A and B are shown apart, each in its own frame.
Chain A
Amino acid sequence: MSAMLTIDGRKVSVPEGTTIWEAARQAGIEIPVLCHDPRLRPVGVCRMCVVDVGERVLAASCVRAAADGMTVQTRSEKVERCRKTLTELLLSDYPADSAREKTTGDDLLLALGRSFGVRPEYLTIPRGDGRARDVSSPVIAVDHAACILCDRCIRACDEIQHNDVIGRTGKGYTARIAFDLDSPMGKSTCVACGECASVCPTGALTHKPLTAPIRPRAELKNVDSVCPYCGVGCAVTLHVDPAKNAVVLVDGRPSPGNESRLCVKGRYGFDYALHPQRLTVPLIRRAEFYPKGPLSGDVKGDGRRRKPGGLVDYNEVLPAFSEASWDEALDLVAKRLSEIKKADGPGALAGFGSAKCSNEEAYVFQKLVRAVFGTNNVDHCTRLCHASSVAALLETIGSGAVTNVFGDVKNAEVALIAGSSTTDNHPVAATFIKDAAQHGTTLIVVDQRETGIARHAHHFLRINPGTDVALYNAWMHVLISEGLVNREYIAKHTEGFEALRETVKRYPPERAAEICGVPADKIREAASVFGRAKAAIIFWGMGISQHTHGTDNARCLISLALLTGNVGRPGTGLHPLRGQNNVQGASDAGLIPMVFPDYQSVEDAGIRKRFEAAWGVRLDPKRGLTVVEIMTGALEKRIRGMYMMGENPFLSDPNINKVRKALAALDFLCVQDIFLTETAEFADVILPATSFFEKTGTYTNTDRRVQIGWKAVEPPGQARLDWEVVSEIARRMGYPMEYVTAEEIFNEFTALAPSYQGLTYQNLQPHGKLWPCPDPERSDGVQLLFGDGFPTPSGRGKFVPCEYRPAAEVPDSDYPFVLNTGRLLEHWHTGVMTRRSRPLSTIQPEAFCEMNPDDLAAAGIPAGAYVSVSSRRGSITLRAHASRRIAPGTVFIPFHFREAAANVLTNDQLDPVGKIPEFKFCAVRIDPATA
């Protein structure tokens, strides 16, 4: 049904239920608003949008539905007079110095005041009712006096981000917004996503300047880009002050992925690029500092307790290096790598690229290693996050890609979140999951910790660490025995069902209950909720993948989806949430030792021939070594020379004490980065690279969305583009590599990668495209994959049954606790960027471990005290936080902090298939720290 109405004499037809405001907008008539924002549920509290519909009183157009035959006046004298009076009243106690007008210059109330010609001298009522300012948040300034109680922030926090932090307190003239129980914002449960400040129409909630003063939006340059942090890949607009060569403000962009939402890192974590510790000149290790070894106390691991907030002390490290010209440095790199290649063969060289770099950089880097070094020893941190998931996906359904986008959770009847602290690690994806959970999707969360997303779950299963296989086998047992499987789908699209059935037969819920520590009836209930759903989607994170049985964990989740036919339809799918902003793209571009770009096997002669033709050289037919294998190779002197672009294995790899020896054992190490990382202390040559904001490139997010990040600012000093540096090294090693733009590299890459075919810098604007994208001119790309079979030889998805195996190192009387490692919302991996971001490091300044208060009490350790946590591999000292979110017998440590690096403790045992280390499980002991 539609309604036909007349607005200001114009005929407009809109679907029934459309508001007058929306109808007017569609007709190109703008009605002023204060409390309304189209992204929010209309509440109609301010009355700025009133219009005359010929009734006794004016109607608020933002909430009033358009009716058939209605005649609306939006600009009559009566209407204008009302709006003007309202504006005058609101301005009568409005502070003279609106923080919004002084920064972004878009104070909506003041703009209305100007448009209605409210004279400033009219506003003579003494201002200031004692409603205070609150500057406790490092990123948002609160001025209660400028608040007009429009409720926008409350709705943004509740309805967009689902953080439920803001409410009102009091009534009448004392009414104010309040955070939680009226705490200062910085002390409340606010997660500093900035959504409230971005919707506030006045000076009440504003973004604090972080780099240079924020000038009016119109005076700043707008650059379309994406967030440099996680795999959600939020689209952003960077507001750049060209005079200061600085990004000063970041807004979310209305792209299909994030719909303008951002988290604290994306919105406020951009200042790291201007940190004074940026590398700006090439550095060469001085002769006196050989033989090589760590330079700073933290990296030496001398055991002294560090002050919190530890960044590397440049005075400890820089004296070991002398500044060099680019020519000197590049010549040295090329010469030493060539010498090693000649003496010990190509297999003695290896390269680590990075999932932080663009597709173009990743492509060029793997090309250098393969075509110039002559080896497939090229890998990156995906090995440490989803290698097992990808291995399982390739084996079972023939593709490592997610089969559906995270936003489609809204169409799911049930969503299973397995081993993912989504609110910390994929915060904006989590907002869509929370949305869905509030609008009819049943949320099942399985985790060993009661994570932020578990708070929103309808069914939360807290399982014993590392027991996922037993749990999902039991689910499948229940599904099969209760007939909740999709027989038709199994028959048509899968193979290996019989074997699976035999295996899961041995996992009745009662047995799983014993292993997993979840009551059998809860297992049954969750399984049948999942099984009954018409559409169910599965998300998983590192809690699944980072185990020595990580591949098995993922295989079970895949079997679960195949068994119930939950692939390839709206609201269904398999979605391993990708960690890094470009981990999908870096893998697509071939930073993987077994495959060329687009997962084409290096061992397949036909494929190899194609790449040999394209690159004009003979290529190594053997798969290369993976991250941890390369480190072991270094230790055993099989790997002698390495080139690392943007990776920091010293902190990110398991068992740091071993990594330290391995890095020191290398004959030659070149590190290319934007800061002096822990790894760089072992380097012979350090090359200064460009930060995210200083270059153009494409990035592929967890949804397979390929997006462009455009260059926003100039690099500092002599820092150079990563792909330029890589090409220089190639040239100096005798291989011609002449690129002029990133776009040129992208085109070379897409020509070799069928999944990216058709994508160009032109059609990727403005919102990017999902790969594959057979019709880039007309479509956004393919959202749902594998609705009709799989890219496997048989075209079917394969069930791979798995038996439950315990973790490699289980607790015993010497090491009685299970250690679990992971990330915090505010920090990124080894902290190289985020610990140099003032707001992020202010919110999370120091290392800590989380323990159950009962365990702390039993050990006689007060919460907040320093403890020493030790495993068979090493020991670190850090503060103990008490939290009931974590189960007795377990310890959680975020791995970002160099001064108390969790990876000193972790076990470098690998999953036999995915070669991923067991970051999520090792045995530790806790002792009070000796002063």
Chain B
Amino acid sequence: MSALGAVSVQFTREQLAEVRRLQALYPDKRAALLPVLHLAQEAFGHISLEAEEYAAGLFDLSPAHVHEVVTFYSLFFREPRGRHVISVCHNLTCHLLGAQRVLTHLKKRLGVDVGGTTPDGGVTLLSVECLCACEMAPMMQVNDRYEGNLTPEKVDRILAELR
């Protein structure tokens, strides 16, 4: 069953070997769907609908099932993202300690809205649920690094380092 027809994404031979290794780790291979989706995100930059369908094929799952998983987890990107990803926590603690101010500042500096990517493809801005680092609220995640106790000045410094 092909929902989209032509598939434009494809793992390399090595990546496919990794898929098979991951699938073999579990009694039911579909348990490996999450790691394989991460692999896809790494390989293709983001998880397009084509990639979802491709993954469905690798697992003998329906495209609808893969779509469910991809749209449930916020760490899967369904649109092309920037080279850097900034995720600002908007949950209770951060909110009380000024997350809004941080976010407004970031929007102004980057010239994008939440969910947007700067025109040069440099930075994608997100606003996310709790990242479990309330002790450093307001905080955000920059790629795979946590930055806390944020002020507009600190945000400027971080942005300067990213460029």
Show the binding face of A for B, using Cβ within 8 Å: 158, 164-171, 178-183, 188-189, 455
Could you tell me the dominant secondary structure of chain B's interface residues?
Answer: helix
Q: Bound complex: CA of A426 vs CA of B52, how far in Å?
A: 31
Task: Look across to chain A and name the residue whose beta carbon is closest to the beta carbon of B64.
Answer: A167
Q: Bound complex: CA of A179 vs CA of B63, how far in Å?
A: 9
Task: Collect the chain B residues with CB atoms within 8 Å of residue A169's CB.
Answer: 67-68, 71
A167 with B1, Cβ < 8 A, contacts A181-B49, A181-B52, A181-B53 known: no
27 A-B pairs whose Cβ atoms sit less than 8 Å apart in the complex: A164-B64, A165-B64, A166-B64, A167-B62, A167-B64, A167-B65, A168-B71, A169-B67, A169-B71, A170-B71, A170-B72, A171-B71, A171-B72, A178-B64, A178-B71, A179-B64, A180-B62, A181-B3, A181-B49, A181-B64, A181-B67, A182-B67, A182-B71, A183-B3, A188-B3, A189-B1, A189-B2
Write the nearest CB–CB distance from A439 to chain B, whole angstroms.
Answer: 15
> Are A180 and B72 in contact, CB atoms less than 8 angstroms apart?
no
Is there a chain A Cβ closer than 8 Å to B4's Cβ? Answer: yes
Q: Bound complex: CA of A171 vs CA of B62, how far in Å?
A: 19
> Are B1 and A455 in contact, CB atoms less than 8 angstroms apart?
yes
Chain B, interface size category, equals: 10 to 19
> Are A168 and B68 in contact, CB atoms less than 8 angstroms apart?
yes
Task: Collect the chain B residues with CB atoms within 8 Å of residue A166's CB.
Answer: 64
Task: Look across to chain B and name the residue whose beta carbon is closest to the beta carbon of A183.
Answer: B3
> Are A167 and B67 in contact, CB atoms less than 8 angstroms apart?
yes
Specify which of A164, A182, A188 is in contact with B65 (CB 8 Å cutoff): A164
Task: Look across to chain B and name the residue whose beta carbon is closest to the beta carbon of A171.
Answer: B72
Task: Collect the chain A residues with CB atoms within 8 Å of residue B3's CB.
Answer: 180-181, 183, 188-189
A181 with B72, Cβ < 8 A, contacts A164-B1, A189-B3, A455-B1 known: no
Write the nearest CB–CB distance from A131 to chain B, whole angstroms.
Answer: 14
Encode contact with A along B51-71: 1 for CB under 8 Å, 0 otherwise.
Answer: 011000000001111011001
Task: Collect the chain A residues with CB atoms within 8 Å of residue B2's CB.
Answer: 189
Write the nearest CB–CB distance from A854 to chain B, whole angstroms.
Answer: 14
- 7 extra interface residue pairs, beta carbon distance < 8 Å, beyond A178-B67, A181-B52: A169-B68, A171-B71, A181-B49, A181-B64, A188-B3, A189-B1, A189-B3
In the complex, which of the residues B1, B4, B63, B64 has the most CB atoms of chain A within 10 Å of its own CB atom? B64
Write the nearest CB–CB distance from A330 to chain B, whole angstroms.
Answer: 52
> Are B71 and A180 in contact, CB atoms less than 8 angstroms apart?
no
Task: Look across to chain B and name the residue whose beta carbon is closest to the beta carbon of A172.
Answer: B129
Q: Bound complex: CA of A170 vs CA of B3, how far in Å?
A: 19
Q: Bound complex: CA of A169 vs CA of B67, how far in Å?
A: 7
Task: Collect the chain B residues with CB atoms within 8 Å of residue A171's CB.
Answer: 71-72
> Are B72 and A165 in contact, CB atoms less than 8 angstroms apart?
no
Task: Collect the chain B residues with CB atoms within 8 Å of residue A164's CB.
Answer: 1, 62, 64-65
> Are A181 and B4 in contact, CB atoms less than 8 angstroms apart?
yes
Specify which of A165, A170, A182 is in contact with B62 (CB 8 Å cutoff): A165
Task: Look across to chain A and name the residue whose beta carbon is closest to the beta carbon of B50.
Answer: A181
> Are B4 and A167 in contact, CB atoms less than 8 angstroms apart?
no
Write the nearest CB–CB distance from B92 to chain A, whole angstroms.
Answer: 16
Write the nearest CB–CB distance from B68 to chain A, whole angstroms.
Answer: 4
Task: Collect the chain A residues with CB atoms within 8 Å of residue B63's CB.
Answer: 180-181, 189
Write the nearest CB–CB distance from B76 to chain A, whole angstroms.
Answer: 12
Task: Look across to chain A and name the residue whose beta carbon is closest to the beta carbon of B5.
Answer: A882
Write the nearest CB–CB distance from A564 to chain B, whole angstroms.
Answer: 29
Task: Collect the chain B residues with CB atoms within 8 Å of residue A455's CB.
Answer: 1
Write the nearest CB–CB distance from A863 to chain B, whole angstroms.
Answer: 10
Task: Collect the chain A residues with CB atoms within 8 Å of residue B68's CB.
Answer: 167-169, 178
Task: Collect the chain A residues with CB atoms within 8 Å of residue B67's CB.
Answer: 167, 169, 178, 180-182
Q: Bound complex: CA of A705 vs CA of B64, how far in Å?
A: 37
Task: Look across to chain A and name the residue whose beta carbon is closest to the beta carbon of B65.
Answer: A167
Q: Bound complex: CA of A188 vs CA of B53, how far in Å?
A: 13
Q: Bound complex: CA of A108 vs CA of B1, how far in Å?
A: 33
Write the nearest CB–CB distance from B125 to chain A, whole angstroms.
Answer: 19
Write the nearest CB–CB distance from A171 to chain B, whole angstroms.
Answer: 5
Q: Bound complex: CA of A165 vs CA of B61, how far in Å?
A: 11
Q: Bound complex: CA of A222 vs CA of B63, how far in Å?
A: 38
Task: Look across to chain A and name the residue whose beta carbon is closest to the beta carbon of B73.
Answer: A171
Q: Bound complex: CA of A455 vs CA of B3, how far in Å?
A: 14
Within 8 A of A (CB), among B64-103: 64-65, 67-68, 71-72
Task: Look across to chain B and name the residue whose beta carbon is closest to the beta carbon of A158.
Answer: B62
Task: Look across to chain A and name the residue whose beta carbon is closest to the beta carbon of B67.
Answer: A181
Task: Collect the chain B residues with CB atoms within 8 Å of residue A170's CB.
Answer: 71-72
Task: Collect the chain A residues with CB atoms within 8 Å of residue B4's CB.
Answer: 181
In the complex, which of the residues B1, B52, B53 has the most CB atoms of chain A within 10 Å of its own CB atom? B1
Write the nearest CB–CB distance from A862 to chain B, whole angstroms.
Answer: 14
Write the nearest CB–CB distance from B66 to chain A, whole angstroms.
Answer: 8
Task: Collect the chain A residues with CB atoms within 8 Å of residue B1's CB.
Answer: 164, 189, 455
Task: Collect the chain B residues with CB atoms within 8 Å of residue A181's CB.
Answer: 3-4, 49, 52-53, 63-64, 67
Q: Bound complex: CA of A188 vs CA of B2, how far in Å?
A: 9
Q: Bound complex: CA of A891 vs CA of B64, how far in Å?
A: 31
Q: Bound complex: CA of A653 vs CA of B116, how far in Å?
A: 62
Task: Look across to chain B and name the residue whose beta carbon is closest to the beta carbon of A188.
Answer: B3
Task: Collect the chain B residues with CB atoms within 8 Å of residue A183's CB.
Answer: 3
Q: Bound complex: CA of A164 vs CA of B68, how far in Å?
A: 12
Q: Bound complex: CA of A164 vs CA of B59, how far in Å?
A: 14
Write the nearest CB–CB distance from B53 to chain A, whole angstroms.
Answer: 7
Task: Look across to chain B and name the residue whose beta carbon is closest to the beta carbon of A863.
Answer: B5
Task: Look across to chain A and name the residue whose beta carbon is closest to the beta carbon of B72.
Answer: A171
Q: Bound complex: CA of A181 vs CA of B71, how far in Å?
A: 10
Within 8 A of A (CB), among B1-52: 1-4, 49, 52
Task: Look across to chain B and name the residue whose beta carbon is closest to the beta carbon of A177.
Answer: B64
Task: Collect the chain B residues with CB atoms within 8 Å of residue A189's CB.
Answer: 1-3, 63
Task: Look across to chain B and name the residue whose beta carbon is closest to the beta carbon of A885.
Answer: B2
Task: Look across to chain A and name the residue whose beta carbon is closest to the beta carbon of B1.
Answer: A189
Q: Bound complex: CA of A167 vs CA of B67, how far in Å?
A: 7
Task: Collect the chain A residues with CB atoms within 8 Å of residue B65's CB.
Answer: 164, 167
Task: Collect the chain A residues with CB atoms within 8 Å of residue B71's CB.
Answer: 168-171, 178, 182
Q: Bound complex: CA of A171 vs CA of B3, how far in Å?
A: 22
Write the nearest CB–CB distance from A45 to chain B, whole angstroms.
Answer: 14
Q: Bound complex: CA of A165 vs CA of B3, how far in Å?
A: 10
Q: Bound complex: CA of A180 vs CA of B53, how far in Å?
A: 9
Q: Bound complex: CA of A182 vs CA of B2, how far in Å?
A: 13
The 6 closest A-B pairs by CB, nearest first: A167-B64, A164-B62, A180-B3, A167-B68, A169-B71, A181-B49
Write the nearest CB–CB distance from A150 to chain B, whole angstroms.
Answer: 15
Q: Bound complex: CA of A854 vs CA of B72, how far in Å?
A: 38
Write the nearest CB–CB distance from A391 to chain B, whole angstroms.
Answer: 37
Task: Collect the chain A residues with CB atoms within 8 Å of residue B52's CB.
Answer: 181
Q: Bound complex: CA of A385 vs CA of B35, how far in Å?
A: 50
Task: Collect the chain B residues with CB atoms within 8 Å of residue A188's CB.
Answer: 3
In the complex, which of the residues A164, A165, A168, A180 has the most CB atoms of chain B within 10 Å of its own CB atom? A180
Task: Look across to chain A and name the residue whose beta carbon is closest to the beta carbon of B53.
Answer: A181
Within 8 A of A (CB), among B123-153: none
Task: Look across to chain B and name the residue whose beta carbon is closest to the beta carbon of A154.
Answer: B64
Q: Bound complex: CA of A165 vs CA of B66, how far in Å?
A: 11
Task: Collect the chain B residues with CB atoms within 8 Å of residue A180's CB.
Answer: 3, 62-64, 67
Q: Bound complex: CA of A158 vs CA of B65, how far in Å?
A: 10
Q: Bound complex: CA of A182 vs CA of B72, how far in Å?
A: 13
Write the nearest CB–CB distance from A883 to chain B, whole angstroms.
Answer: 9
Task: Look across to chain B and name the residue whose beta carbon is closest to the beta carbon of A165.
Answer: B64
Write the nearest CB–CB distance from A610 to chain B, whole angstroms.
Answer: 54
Q: Bound complex: CA of A663 vs CA of B71, how far in Å?
A: 61
